[in-house]
Amino acid sequence: MFNSLSDRLTSTFKNLRGKGRLTEAQIDGTVREIRRALLDADVAVAVVRAFVAQVKERALGEEVSGSLNPGQQIVKIVNEELVGILGGETRRLNLAKTAPTVIMLAGLQGAGKTTLAGKLAKHLKAQGHTPLLVACDLQRPNAVKQLQVNGERAGVPVYAPHPGVSSEFESATGDPVAVARDGVAEAKSKLHDIVIVDTAGRLGIDTEMMQQAADIRAAVNPDEVLFVIDAMIGQDAVNTAQAFNEGVGVTGVVLTKLDGDARGGAALSVASVTGKPVMYASTGENLDDFEIFHPDRMASRILDMGDVLTLIEQAEANWDKGEAERMAKKFADREDFTLDDFLAQMAQIRKMGSMKKILGMMPGSQISRQQLEQFDESQMDRIEAIVRSMTQHERVAPKIINGSRRARIAKGSGVHVSEVNSMLERFGEAQKMMKKLASGGAIPGMPGGRGGAKKGAKGGKKKPAKFGNPAKAAQLAAAEANKAKAPSGAAFGAGAKDFDPADLNLPKGFEKFLGK
């Protein structure tokens, strides 16, 4: 969603690197580029003006001029201001003191309210709640059926006493206000602690729509009214959000379709214009593509600084703890990493979502934006097909896979032999890396690791040099003998008994730390 904006801002900040001092002209140029980037991203003009003015004021102040690294300080200022216009702090649901907590969803037709209702219900169920979905959209064809399907997929019951309409040629006959009121009563009788009311939408804002939403609000007195907005609608997001805030009185915002390729200005405008926080974000079509909206993490993503915290939370939620413990034990016991292990680890990663999404959260990634967009998700399916086309013995001992076996595996998985060769080659490199890590070695190309003994050396000891000149050999032997005579425990060949702490001019009382 924010790829274009992220690229523009990252390119702007590159020009500030390595500068010990920034002139007013350089700051003006940077602020001008930030303004253009935000306007191109469809951020509301009023929001852009306020944002740029605040950044410029702080950039021209002592905050930057007195900094050791002015370029990084400006990035810090932009990051903090982005967090501010995105809502400032993470906002959680306000739960009612007496159950059930009533959550009403409002928004235009096509924004994704019904799908979001299922996602929110599944998210709350995973947190230990017992939600009930109430189908009050009786006007859109098959809206009630869609909510029932989403409820079944989420494992959440749906209260739907009226079937709604099945085609656009039918007229709505049910009373959505009565359905909402009866749904809350049903939740109380069945001891559900949360009620999610899915309301009707329109293709545009009209008086009838707002009145129906206001009537439902008055009937059920919701604890939260979440305005669901399509993040791809651009500048019109601000007008729509203001209309719903005035007509219904929203308490929070939910952004849908954040996985789209639009410019994403709605996300940067709605919270600032309405004064209502963005609470959730929908990032895909599956019920699991749903996350709590963290303004600080979203700002980090926009500035291409990654989002490691969200990545960790997704790993904790989706990773099989039993599988993780099994792999940890295997790693500690220095057992071989097999293709079955490789398949299991790949399945765990796929539970976290698409590889594009995971790689996009990695900070400092060497993968360019273009490479990330061109990443082929189906490659994971081909790799899995190749491994599953192998026999159990081949997965444990891939070295036995000769030419004829490779041809059979390629035919069974529907790929070319070259893809099988490439996969086995990459797996061999991964296997070597795992062995090296298990033995306490360093990964090639990674700084800070412990390196092993050099090739050809035994026990890590250097072989004695051989010289054809007897005089030079004798000279080297004499030097080694003199080194051996030096007293042990001395840094430069001087005996420890010659050391006197008084010679160091240390502070008074410091000698007690020297053992004297």
**Contacts (Cβ under 8 Å, ≥6 apart) of 43:** 51, 265, 268, 269
Which string of DSSP letters, residue by residue, matches 125-192?
A: HHTT--EEEEE---SSTTHHHHHHHHHHHHT--EE-SS---SSTTSPP-S-HHHHHHHHHHHHHHTT-
Lowest pLDDT segment from 5-14, 368-377, 505-514: 505-514
Q: What is the 3-state secondary structure (H, E, C) of 18-47?
A: CCCCCCHHHHHHHHHHHHHHHHHCCCCHHH
Predicted pLDDT at 6: 76
pLDDT digits (tens, 9 = 90+) for 326-366: 767 766 666 677 888 888 877 777 777 666 666 666 655 44
Q: Hey, what are 3's tokens?
A: 């790829």
**CA separation (Å) from 266 to 7, 262, 317, 348, 435?**
18, 10, 29, 33, 49
- Rg of the chain on CA atoms, in Å: 32
3-state helix, strand, coil in the chain (%, to 5): 55, 10, 40
CA 48 to chain centre: 26
Predicted pLDDT at 223: 94
Q: Which residues are annotated as a binding site for GTP?
A: 107-114, 198-202, 256-259
User: What average pLDDT does this structure show over 457-464?
Assistant: 48
Alpha-carbon distance of 249 to 213, in angstroms, equals 10
Amino acid making up residue 444: P
Residue whose token pair is 């405008």: 269
Predicted pLDDT at 144: 92
Alpha-carbon distance of 279 to 71, in angstroms, equals 32
Closest CA to 95 of 194, 181, 198, 191: 194
Top-level CATH class of 101-302?
A: alpha beta
pLDDT digits (tens, 9 = 90+) for 125-148: 999 999 999 999 988 889 999 999
Q: Hey, what are 350's tokens?
A: 């796929």
Q: Which of 133-147, 292-306, 423-437 has the highest mean pLDDT?
A: 133-147
Q: Which residues are annotated as a binding site?
A: 107-114, 198-202, 256-259
Predicted pLDDT at 371: 59
286 close to 117: Cβ distance less than 8 angstroms: no
What is the second-level CATH architecture of the domain 3-85?
Up-down Bundle (1.20)
User: What average pLDDT does this structure show over 20-34?
Assistant: 82
Can you count the helices (H) and strands (E) in the chain?
A: 22, 8
Burial pattern 212-230, b for ≥16 Cβ within 10 A else e, equals bbeebbebbebbbbbbbbb
User: What average pLDDT does this structure show over 2-25?
Assistant: 74
Alpha-carbon distance of 235 to 264, in angstroms, equals 10
| CATH superfamily, domain at 314-438 | Signal recognition particle, SRP54 subunit, M-domain (1.10.260.30)
Please report which confidence band the pLDDT of residue 455 belongs to, taking 50, 70 and 90 as the band edges.
very low
Q: What is the 3-state secondary structure (H, E, C) of 419-457?
A: HHHHHHHHHHHHHHHHHHHHCCCCCCCCCCCCCCCCCCC
Predicted pLDDT at 283: 81
Q: Hey, what are 26's tokens?
A: 């350089």
pLDDT digits (tens, 9 = 90+) for 242-293: 888 888 888 998 988 877 655 667 667 888 888 888 899 888 888 888 888 8
Predicted pLDDT at 318: 64
Closest CA to 384 of 324, 344, 429: 344
Domain ranges of the chain: 3-85, 101-302, 314-438
Higher pLDDT, 119 or 174: 119
Cα 381–385–386 angle (5° rounding)?
A: 120
202 close to 71: Cβ distance less than 8 angstroms: no
Report percent pLDDT > 70 for the chain: 69
Q: Is the pTM of this model over 0.75?
A: no
Please report which confidence band the pLDDT of residue 505 belongs to, taking 50, 70 and 90 as the band edges.
low
Amino acid making up residue 422: S
265 close to 46: Cβ distance less than 8 angstroms: no
Residue whose token pair is 């005996």: 495
Q: Do domains 3-85 and 314-438 have the same CATH topology?
A: no
Cα 258–261–264 angle (5° rounding)?
A: 55
**CA separation (Å) from 253 to 121, 271, 293?**
16, 8, 10
224 close to 106: Cβ distance less than 8 angstroms: no
pLDDT digits (tens, 9 = 90+) for 211-244: 888 999 999 999 999 999 887 776 677 778 888 8
Predicted pLDDT at 256: 87
Higher pLDDT, 402 or 449: 402
The two beta strands, 278-282 and 290-292, are antiparallel
CA 281 to chain centre: 12
**Contacts (Cβ under 8 Å, ≥6 apart) of 255:** 229, 231, 266, 267, 270, 278, 280, 281, 282, 293
**Contacts (Cβ under 8 Å, ≥6 apart) of 496:** 487, 489, 490
Burial of residue 493 (CB within 10 Å: 0-12, 13-18, 19+) is exposed
Residue whose token pair is 């034990």: 329
User: What average pLDDT does this structure show over 426-444?
Assistant: 70
DSSP H helices, 455-515, are 470-485
Predicted pLDDT at 459: 46
Higher pLDDT, 490 or 43: 43
Alpha-carbon distance of 457 to 463, in angstroms, equals 7
Q: Is the pLDDT of residue 91 over 60?
A: yes
22 close to 29: Cβ distance less than 8 angstroms: no
User: What average pLDDT does this structure show over 434-438?
Assistant: 70
